């Protein structure tokens, strides 16, 4: 299994440009998450999905959009990039059937984004 994969690894955007960060998992996980990590901080949740076709906002969703058309893929769309979106973005996935809250999240290697 490749686990959770993310592309690209690094990207520089100009202010106002748009881009899509790709995330895929091959573990048949139902839950998928997008986080951002700012320097010296923990991760903050942007969006999450409980299954194909179902997404919801996290703590910091402004300026982002997501979709989940398949179990495997969960792309994150940035519209009109702003310097405040300079960050490292992590995708994660987990599997839950009975919802104990103690499931393990598996993280991708991250995408480093610089908006200038």
Partner 1 sequence: AQSVTQLDSHVSVSEGTPVLLRCNYSSSYSPSLFWYVQHPNKGLQLLLKYTSAATLVKGINGFEAEFKKSETSFHLTKPSAHMSDAAEYFCVVNVARNTGFQKLVFGTGTRLLVSP
Residues forming the site for partner 1 (CB under 8 A)? 4, 30-31, 33, 40-45, 48, 50, 58, 90, 92, 94, 96-110
Closest distance of CB 24 from partner 1, Å: 14
Residues in the chain: 116
CA separation, residue 42 to residues 12, 47, 54, 100 (Å)? 22, 16, 26, 23
Query: Which CB sits closer to partner 1, 82 or 95?
Result: 95
SS3 38: coil
Q: For residue 75, what are the contacts with CB-CB under 8 A and spacing of at least 6?
A: 20, 21, 22, 23, 66, 67
Query: Which CB sits closer to partner 1, 59 or 79?
Result: 59
Query: Which CB sits closer to partner 1, 14 or 98?
Result: 98
Closest distance of CB 113 from partner 1, Å: 14
Closest distance of CB 9 from partner 1, Å: 9
């Amino acid at each position: 299994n490749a686990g959770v994969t993310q592309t690209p690894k690094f990207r520089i955007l100009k202010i106002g440009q748009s881009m899509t960060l790709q995330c895929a998992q091959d573990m048949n996980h139902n839950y998928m998450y997008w986080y951002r990590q700012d320097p010296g901080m923990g991760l903050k949740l942007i969006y999450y999905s409980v299954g194909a076709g179902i997404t919801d906002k996290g703590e910091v969703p402004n300026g982002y959009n997501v979709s989940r058309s398949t179990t495997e893929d969960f792309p994150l769309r940035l519209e009109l990039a702003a310097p405040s979106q300079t960050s490292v973005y992590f995708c994660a996935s987990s599997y839950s059937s009975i919802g104990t809250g103690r499931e393990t999240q598996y993280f991708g290697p991250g995408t480093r984004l610089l908006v200038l």
